[in-house]
Structures are given as structure tokens and as C-alpha cells.
Structure 1
Amino acid sequence: MAGPTTTRRGAGRKPAGASARPVRRPPAPRAPRAPRRHRFGRRPLLLLAGVLLVVTGVLWLLYGSAWLRVDRVTVSGTRVLRPQEVTEVAAVRLGRPLAALDTDAVAGRLSRELPRVATVEVDREWPGTVALRVTERKPVLLLRKDDRYTEVDAGGVRFATSRQAPAGVPVLELTARARGIAARRFSADRLTREAVRVAGDLPAPVARATRTVRLASYDSITLELAGGRTVVWGSGENGGAKARALTALMKAAPGAAHFDVSAPTAPAVARS
């Protein structure tokens, strides 16, 4: 058999001096990625469950349990009003959850139905007490009509009427007889407010000793004190200065019967 030919022997051989080139293989196809799954840890879920449990427990304790319910109502600060009267008007239901109490509604009822109440604080005192702290209006002047007396506070509020005059509160005597323009300018209501203003400016010892505030005109106000003493006050202006001048005069001349502080920078005193 004939041997291999020259051509066949050289087949598949690279010529001398030729550089060797790496054989490039196509990249292997990548396996598709599995979709990511969002995983939540147990800690946030446990925390959320704990918060819900606490909130539920607090709500039950405040509104569902029998421990924090209204079991009594206390009243303080009353001087003329009876505590029982205040409690009845407040209308706080015993046995209801203390947290559900509408304090504004209770305060509104007391201010609306008891004019003598100037301010009131409604407080929850845990575990089961509702505290009503009342401040009553203080009369500084009495308006007399027939056989009845109306109490007026320093703000001009008329809050109570009775047949018996409260002790230590002066009575207003309005003797002004203005006509025409003066009557329209200085009406009875305005003159009354001026008298209330004067009564509110009086020093405490003088206020207790004053029996009558006589008002003849806007700038002619006279006080009648116990023991027959009189004070010419003038108008209601400069009330603070007049009160200080009157206090100084009474200390300097305790036996005097007549005082004039209508001009507080030049007060006068007379013994008879």
C-alpha cells in the first residue's frame, strides 16, 4: 500500500513561526435567577403585636374596667353656694369611666346655671374622683329696687338678687337728675358702672366701712361710712391715687369725720 503523500502529512500543522491563538469558546448560558422574596424578620412583627397589646390594655383599663370609674365628686371654694347645690348642677354621673368625663361641659353648666360662679376648675383625680374648684363672684355694690337687693361684682356683672342685703356691701343711691343731652350721655347704666368702678377701687378697710355710695352726677360721688363719716370722692377717675390718699388721711387723722380726695394731689380733712 502506498504511504501517505506529502500533502497529507503536512495537513493540520501550523507553519513555522506562526503565533498560537487561543481558541475562543462561546460563553455558557447563565441560569435564570430565581425571583427575590421579601422576607420580614420576626422582630418588627413582635414589636407591633406588643404595641397593639399595650394600647388595647390601656383602653380597656380606662374605659372598660371597673377600677377607673367616677365614685365621688368633691366641691371646694364655695362661700355662699352650698356644695350640694354645685354637685347637683354639675350632674356628674357616678359609675361612668373617669376618662370619658367631659370637663368643659361640666364647667359650662356650672357657669351658665349658677351666676354666682365666677370661675370653676373641673379636674380628674385618679382613680375615681372629680374635683370641682369654684371661685365665687364678690359683690362690691348693691342695687336696691323696692325691697330687693341685686349684687354687682367689680366687673359690673349683676349675679344675684335677694331680700336681705349682704353684710359689708355698700348700697348705691343714684340721685342724678340729668336731662336732655346730659341724660343721654350719662345714662343710669353708665352712672351705675361708674359707681361700681369706685366701689372696686376702695381700700379693703374703707369698703367694709362704707354703707352708701351716693352718686349725684358723673363727677360727684360721695361715700357714707359707718359712724357718720363721709368721703368726697369726685369722679371715678384716678381711683388708685384717691385710695392711697384716703388711706394716708385716715391714718393721719383717725378721728376726722369728713375727707375729700376728689383732688388726690391736694386731699383735705375736717373733724366735723
Structure 2
Amino acid sequence: MAAGPTTAEKSGASRPNGSSDRSPRGGDGEAREGRFRVPGPRPLLICSALILLVASGIWALYGSSWFRVERVTTSGTRVLTPREVEEVAAVPMGAPLVSVDTDAIEARLAERLPRVDTVDVVRSWPHGIGLRVTERKPVLLLEKGRRFVEVDSAGTRFATVDRAPRGVPKLVLDASASPSLRRFDTDRLLAEAVVVAGELPKKVAVDTRVVRVTSYDSITLELSGGRTVFWGSGEDGEVKARVLSALMKATPKAGHFDVSAPTAPAATGS
């Protein structure tokens, strides 16, 4: 009786030449060929067009004469002149508009022109730079010899002028004898005076000639016609302003008003 095929023979019969009996479902070569297919002409044309477009845009902004600085305009000046502002701004004429360093221009103006509160440097395509200036406004004046130092609403001393601007009260700091001077120095008293000046009723502000400060809680307003207002400290300013308006309306002929304690105001003299 003949022996049946061995296990090796069976294996050899089912896998001739030692190959797997799994039928191929697309060879590796075909997969690689599909995965790394060379792009056709259309994608290449699109990429080339995009590269050309970007290169053209860069050349137009930086290399061409189409978008270069040809003029500078200044707006918002009141005391300063546009020429003063533009000289300090030093905008590079003829430079590509896109490359102008607007932050550097703003920094120069802030450093060299203290009267400038804020400035916006804007590009005005295709050839302009605009300087939009906001100047500081004085709310008080400090006498300095025969000249006047302007102080704005933030307490900043920003300019010294020969002539006092019209409608701006003088500030007199006379706190040398104040026992609280060590606690509230002249800068703090100046700040308090600025706060008071900003909270005055409009009619009172127009009539105020002098703001006199002798201590933190002793601020007096000297008005036109020899009238005075004892304001006290800078606290409760809005309340004091309302009380003062009502008091002056009720006693129009009074010469002295006291709103240092707004719950108990007083008017005296005539």
C-alpha cells in the first residue's frame, strides 16, 4: 500500500516554488506607482501662476514706483503747525509705502513734541502718509517767572509759553506751611488741583481765575468779580459741583461760597 504524500509535499503542492497561496490584489509596484503619480500639466500651471502673482505683488510693493511716499498730510494741530510736526516725523519720502515704520514715527513725535498727546500714522494708498495729531489741552497754568507752564488733565507739565492761554486758570501752590506736606507733596497737590479743575461746573470753570492750594484739604477757587469758593479737598467733587451750582443760583449776590462739606454748604457776603 503506497504511502500518502508527506506534509512537506502537501505544502509544496499548495505553494509551488515556496510562494504564498494568497492571490495578489494589486502588486506593490502598482501601489507605489499610484501613490507617487507625477502631477499633470494643469496643477503645474496653477502653481506657476500663483508664484508669478506673489512675485509680482512683492515687486509692485517694494520694487516699483507705484506705491511710494510722495506726500505727507497733517491734521488735528491747534498750537503746533503741520510743518513742525512733519519735520519731527521725518517720513522717508520716496520710500516704499509698505515699508514705512509708523511706530518709529509715532515714537519720535511723542519724544520730541511733548504737546502731542496722541498721534496716528496711517498709510494713504497709493502715495500718502497721514499724521492725525491730538494735542494736549491745558487745564491749569503754573507761573514760572514771566512765563507759564501748561498742565493738562493728567497732571502732565507739557509746555512753557510766554503768554497765558485765554480761559485757563492759574494754579498757586502755597503749601509750604502745611503740616501734611510730607504726606502730600507738591506733585500730589498738583494732581488734586487738576482733579478739582476738571470737576467744576462749566459756568464756574469759565469764571475761575486762580486755583489756590495751601494743603490737601484746603483748595480755594478765586473767581471773577472778587468771589471765592472754598472747595476743601478734592474728594466728592461731583457732589460739590452740583451743590455749588444750586448754591450760586439760590444766592446770586453772595461773594463767598463754601462747599467743603457738601451736606452743609454756606454762602456769605454780597
TM bin, normalised by shorter chain, reads 0.7 to 0.9
Task: Write the distance in 2 (CA, Å) between the matches of 1:257 and 1:53.
Answer: 81
Between the aligned partners of 2:110 and 2:188, the Cα distance in structure 1 is: 26
SS in 2 for 1:216: strand
Cross-structure match for 2:193: 195
Q: Does 1:261 align with 2:242?
A: no
Deviates more, 1:139-148 or 1:243-252: 243-252
- 1:60 matched to 2:74? The reply is no
What does residue range 24-39 of structure 1 map to in structure 2 within 5 Å?
36=33, 38-39=37-38
Shift of 1:97: 1.1
CA distance in 2, matches of 1:98, 1:114: 24
**Structure 1: how far apart are the matches of 2:220 and 2:136?**
25
TM-score (norm: length of structure 2): 0.83
Q: In 1, distance between residues paired with 2:255 and 2:213?
A: 19
- The normalised TM-score by structure 1 is 0.82
Partner of 2:126: 127
Which residue is equivalent to 1:164?
Answer: 163
Task: Provide the identity percentage.
Answer: 59
Cross-structure match for 1:224: 222
In structure 1, C-alpha distance between the alignment counterparts of 2:124 and 2:39, rounded to whole Å: 44
Between the aligned partners of 2:264 and 2:78, the Cα distance in structure 1 is 40
1:60/1:33 CA distance change after superposition, 3 Å: closer
Q: Which amino acid aligns with 1:220?
A: S
Distance 1:94 1:251 in 2: 59
Which residue is equivalent to 2:74? 75
Unmatched tracts of structure 1, length 5 or more: 1-23
Cα gap change, 1:144 to 1:165, in 2 (>3 Å):
same
Shift of 1:130: 0.8
- Residue 173 of structure 1: SS of its match in structure 2? strand
In structure 2, distance between residues paired with 1:183 and 1:261 = 23
Q: Which residue of 2 aligns with 1:15?
A: none
What amino acid is the match of 1:257?
G
Distance 1:55 1:252 in 2: 75
Identify the residue that residue 16 of structure 1 maps to in structure 2.
none
Describe the superposition over 1:109-129 as per-residue Cα deviations: whole angstroms up to 9, x where unpaired.
111100001111111111111
Q: Whole-Å Cα distance in 1 between the matches of residues 237 and 250 of structure 2? A: 20
**Residue matched to 2:150:** 151
Cα distance in structure 1, aligned partners of 2:267 and 2:81: 44
Looking at CA atoms only, which structure, 1 or 2, has the larger radius of gyration?
A: 1
Residue 63 and residue 204 in structure 1: after superposition, are their counterparts in 2 closer, same or farther (change >3 A)?
A: farther
Contact 2:180–2:215 (CA<8 Å) still a contact in 1?
A: no
Q: What is the CA–CA distance in structure 2 between the aligned matches of 1:262 and 1:79, rounded to whole Å?
A: 37
For the residues of structure 1 that align with 2:42 and 2:252, how far apart are their CA atoms?
85
Judged with a 3 Å threshold, the aligned counterparts in structure 2 of structure 1 residues 183 and 258 are, in CA distance, closer, same or farther, namely closer
- 2:173 matched to which residue of 1? 174
| Residues 42 and 175 of structure 1: CA distance in aligned 2, closer, same or farther (over 3 Å) | same
Number of matched pairs:
248
RMSD: 2.6
CA shift for structure 1 position 249: 2.9
Distance in 1, matches of 2:180 and 2:259, equals 25
- Per-residue deviation at 1:253? 4.0
Q: How far has the Cα of 1:265 moved from its partner? A: 2.7
Letter in 2 for 1:261: V
Q: Distance in 1 between matches of 2:115 and 2:126?
A: 30
- In the alignment, structure 2 segments of 5+ residues that lack a partner are 1-12
Output the CA distance in 1 between the equivalents of 2:245 and 2:59.
62
Task: Indicate the larger mover: 93-102 or 187-196.
Answer: 187-196
Q: Which amino acid in 2 is paired with 1:89? A: V
Query: Deviation string for 1:214-251 (max 9, x for gaps)?
Result: 11221111101122221111101111211222233334
> How far apart are 1:59 and its partner, in Å?
1.0
Q: Any idea what SS the aligned residue of 1:160 has?
A: strand
How far the C-alpha of 1:256 sits from its partner, in A, is: 3.6
The verdict on how the C-alpha distance between 1:45 and 1:170 changes in structure 2, with shifts beyond 3 A counting, is same
Deviation at 1:175, TM superposition (A): 2.1
